[in-house]
Amino acid sequence: MRCVIVGGAEIKNYALIRSYLKPDDFTVYCDCGLRHSDSLGASPSLIIGDFDSHPMPRDSHNVIILPCVKDDTDTIFAVKESIRREFSEVLMLGVTGGREDMTLGNICALLMLKSHGIPAMIASDYSEMSMITAGESVRVADGWRCFSLLNISGTASGITIKGAKYPLDDGAITSEYQYGISNETLPGEEASISLSEGNLLLVCVRR
């Protein structure tokens, strides 16, 4: 089963974001992420939060109440809960934009999920984000405005990009020098991306 984690960041294009949802998703709303519930049309399977930004639900049978003073944000706690419950896949919505610190923390959660063997994606009004790890080969369709490869952990090496405006053969991207930004799939083709060591954040930007 897939776990969908909904945070409290702004969502403008609800029709777009609703298109990602499936009827059998296990949907977790994090604190003020509950404000998206009606617009997404997805009832909460679980609600998690310290409720410092949203009223506590009256019906508490599917609620995990967290203390206000804690190490994990509500969203990161939800990510850890999805790992504990052994979901096969995670989709995160409403977790980017607004506060940069929260956004960066939530992006790093993709790396946490990947380290547990759980494929995950962040979808927003503007992009899709996911992690590519060593040994994987990922394709990017022609429908995106551009795609970027960012390294948020150590060094990624043995990077090969084919079918793109800026190809790469056995390249390396470090955390200090992010030169893999704003590449484009060639018209009518699919770009292929692979690497032999490390991890890369793939950001596909909408037109």
Q: What are the tens digits of pLDDT across the range 102-116? A: 999 999 999 999 999
pLDDT attached to residue 58: 74
Report whether pLDDT(187) > 80.
Answer: yes
Q: What is the pLDDT of residues 83-93, one digit of tens each?
A: 999 999 999 99
The model carries a pTM of: 0.94
The correct answer on CATH 3.40.50.970 for the domain covering 131-205 is no
Please give the sequence-ordered ranges of beta strands (E in DSSP) within the chain, or none if there are none.
2-6, 26-30, 46-49, 63-65, 89-93, 120-123, 127-133, 137-140, 146-150, 155-162, 168-174, 191-194, 199-205
**How many H-runs (helices) and E-runs (strands) does the chain carry?**
4, 13
Give the percent of the chain with pLDDT over 90: 91
Q: Is domain 2-125 classified as CATH 3.40.50.10240?
A: yes
Query: Residue 55 has what pLDDT?
Result: 77
In the chain, where the domains are located:
2-125, 131-205
Does residue 20 register a pLDDT over 70? yes
Range 174-193 average pLDDT: 96
CA 83 to chain centre: 15
Greatest alpha-carbon pair distance for the chain in Å reads 57
Q: Which tens digit of pLDDT belongs to each residue from 32-81?
A: 999 999 999 999 999 999 888 777 787 767 999 998 899 999 999 999 99
For 116-151, how does the pLDDT look when each residue is reduced to its tens digit (9 = 90+)? 999 999 999 999 999 999 999 999 999 999 999 999
At 189, phi and psi to the nearest 5?
A: -120, 175
pLDDT digits (tens, 9 = 90+) for 164-180: 999 999 999 999 999 99
pLDDT of residue 60: 67
Amino acid identity for residue 33 in this structure: G
